[in-house]
Amino acid sequence: MSENDDGWKSALTTFGRVGQIGFTFVFSVLISVGIGYWIDKAVGTDFLFKLVFLVIGLVSGLWSVYRTLSRFFNEGDGGKDELK
């Protein structure tokens, strides 16, 4: 394998991880807000549960991004500091 092929493989791996981070964050927020919307509609409130679940979705999305990034950056040192 040439040096150029290794560069492309590394670039594609990085782009894939960035895509995973974005997808995971957006998906967490959308699912949470959807649950809040459904509960608001069932209970008859205006925006209470959407707001609560928006915060939950943001926190879970940020936590997932943090874990993914910590795995990515700790990959070079054997992942010994990786969060579980």
Q: What token pair was written down for 82?
A: 């990786």
- Structural domain count of the chain: 1
Percent of the chain with pLDDT over 90: 54
15 part of a folded domain: no
Give the integer Cα–Cα distance in Å for 23 and 26: 5
Q: Could you report the per-residue pLDDT of 2-56, keeping only the tens digit for each?
A: 566 778 888 888 888 888 899 999 999 999 999 999 999 999 999 999 999 999 9
Q: 17 exposed, middle or buried (CB, 10 Å; 0-12, 13-18, 19+)?
A: middle
2 part of a folded domain: no
16 part of a folded domain: no
Which pLDDT value is given to residue 77? 58
66 part of a folded domain: yes
Q: Could you report the per-residue pLDDT of 54-72, keeping only the tens digit for each?
A: 999 999 999 999 998 888 8
